Amino acid sequence: MSTCAVVWCDRSAMARGLCKRCYARYKRGLGPNETRQYATWEAKERVRYEATQRREAGEGIADIAVSLSINESTLGKWFRGRGVRPAGGKFGKSLAQNQWKRWTRDDAAIAYTRTDLSIAKRAELLGRSYTAVAGFVRDYRKRPGDPYGIQ
């Protein structure tokens, strides 16, 4: 049994004198004798409900995680599992409705050939996100052949 900086552990010592378990607790702000804020199913559901309400109101995951003392990745899993999305995207704009829609030949032609427009303008014209259009243009150059017959 090795001694970590916080408590007696049966795990091997890690960097900075903390084992993995104790380091994770330290990062969450928990001391050696503290327990999770929810110990029952009802308490956990109450925390999830509060987090869901705050996320739908547009608050960021990082802010919610800090105030509720929950890991960001855990919150992300909860939100994905329940289909929770913020009311608006970044900078107050709504999320693109057809973000996961398949690319048609016409959409691909506009995204790839309209070099007179900026990527942001092309994204606005197509109703897609900036990242989706930029990624399409970048990846289209690397594709073998010409799947949409643009070039």
pLDDT tens digits, residue range 27-61?
766 666 666 566 688 888 898 999 999 988 888 88
Considering the entire predicted model, what is its pTM?
0.41
Identify whether the C-beta of residue 129 lies closer than 8 Å to the C-beta of residue 99.
yes
Claim to verify: residue 102 and residue 79 sit in the same structural domain: no
How many structural domains comprise the chain?
3
Claim to verify: residue 20 and residue 71 sit in the same structural domain: no
Identify whether the C-beta of residue 75 lies closer than 8 Å to the C-beta of residue 64.
yes
Quick one: pLDDT at residue 49?
A: 92
Identify whether the C-beta of residue 129 lies closer than 8 Å to the C-beta of residue 123.
yes
Quick one: pLDDT at residue 121?
A: 93
Claim to verify: residue 82 and residue 45 sit in the same structural domain: yes
- The CA-atom distances, in angstroms, between 109 and each of 17, 81, 92, 128 are 57, 35, 29, 14
Would you write out the chain's pLDDT as a tens digit for each of its 151 residues? 444 555 555 554 444 566 766 777 677 666 666 665 666 888 888 989 999 999 888 888 888 988 888 888 889 888 888 888 776 655 445 455 555 678 888 888 888 888 899 999 999 898 888 888 898 888 887 877 777 777 7
Quick one: pLDDT at residue 42?
A: 87
Q: What is the DSSP string of 38-68?
A: --SHHHHHHHHHHHHHHHHTT--HHHHHHHH
**What is the domain extent for residue 56?**
41-90
Quick one: pLDDT at residue 15?
A: 46
Which of 74, 90, 106 is a domain's end point? 90
Claim to verify: residue 111 and residue 143 sit in the same structural domain: yes
- Report angle CA 3, 5, 10 to the nearest 5 degrees: 35
Claim to verify: residue 141 and residue 100 sit in the same structural domain: yes
Which of 53, 73, 90 is a domain's end point? 90
Measured between its terminal Cα atoms, the distance across the chain in Å is 66
Which of 69, 90, 111 is a domain's end point? 90
